[in-house]
Amino acid sequence: MVTVCHCGNPSGLNVFRSAPFPWMVANSPISPLMLIVFTLLVLVIIALRQLWQKYLDQPVFKLFSLSSSNYRLVGTDIGGRTDHAYLRSGPLGGVPDALFVNKRKRHGFIGEYKSRQNKGRPSLREKYQVILYMGMAMEKYGLIEIKGAIRYRENIVPVLFDASLYQRLRNLEGEVLLAKKKWIPLDTRPLHCR
């Protein structure tokens, strides 16, 4: 049903008066001033949310001595945060404690946090864990370079990416899946001794 508004026009054909914007109708409850105020309010909310996120991210950047002007925090579970960066490659998957991607280059950074003290160097298990995360992050995000570190209570230990070690670890997938089924290791020798 069409309601015709005479609006001072004797022919009755002028259904709508002209409005300042094509999507607005005459006598609409939304004025241009209200539209501008609403838009500004939305922009302020977005800016405050970004500032709050930056405020929450600062402790994670400080843990690994990174600059928030160079890196973007993709995900972390440090400090009870729930914005994880899940990495998966085939049957292998995991969540690093912190994943950063450089804002300008295709570089990344994996950070693992351990609350214990470091006794010289990281364990092989910790090193392998970080190298696996580094390789999976390179694949997922198309990174050309990646760095990693393990943050202990009193210091940071860098971990360099080794592509051949990453591939050797990936080649163990079948062996690991069989060992999990049988509940015994198929090869008891440590990886660094093979």
DSSP 71-90: EEEEEE-GGG------EEET
Each residue's pLDDT, cut to its tens digit, for the chain (194 residues) gives 444 445 555 554 444 455 555 555 555 566 777 778 788 888 877 776 766 655 555 678 888 888 888 888 888 888 776 777 888 888 788 899 999 999 888 899 999 998 888 777 788 889 999 999 999 999 998 999 999 999 998 888 999 999 999 998 888 888 877 888 888 777 777 777 77
The reported pLDDT for the residue numbered 146 is 94
Question: What phi, psi does 106 have (nearest 5°)?
Answer: -90, 60
Q: Round to whole Å and give the CA distance between 116 and 122.
A: 11
Within-domain flag for 23: no
Torsion, Cα 48 54 56 62, to 10 degrees, reads -160
> What is the 8-class DSSP label of residue 100?
E
DSSP 6-59: -TT-TT----S---SSTTPPTT-S--HHHHHHHHHHHHHHHHHHHHHHHHHHHH
The reported pLDDT for the residue numbered 161 is 94
Write the CATH number for 163: 3.40.1350
Say what angle helices 163-171 and 173-182 make with each other, to 10 degrees. Answer: 40
Within-domain flag for 160: yes
Within-domain flag for 10: no
Task: Using alpha carbons, select from 172, 174, 173 the residue that is nearest to residue 189.
Answer: 172
Within-domain flag for 67: yes
Asked whether the beta carbons of 134 and 146 are under 8 A apart, the reply is yes
Number of domains, the chain: 1
Q: Round to whole Å and give the CA distance between 75 and 133.
A: 13
Asked whether the beta carbons of 131 and 169 are under 8 A apart, the reply is yes
Within-domain flag for 14: no
List the domain range (segments joined by +) for residue 101. 32-188
* pTM, to two decimals: 0.67
The reported pLDDT for the residue numbered 109 is 94
The reported pLDDT for the residue numbered 14 is 47
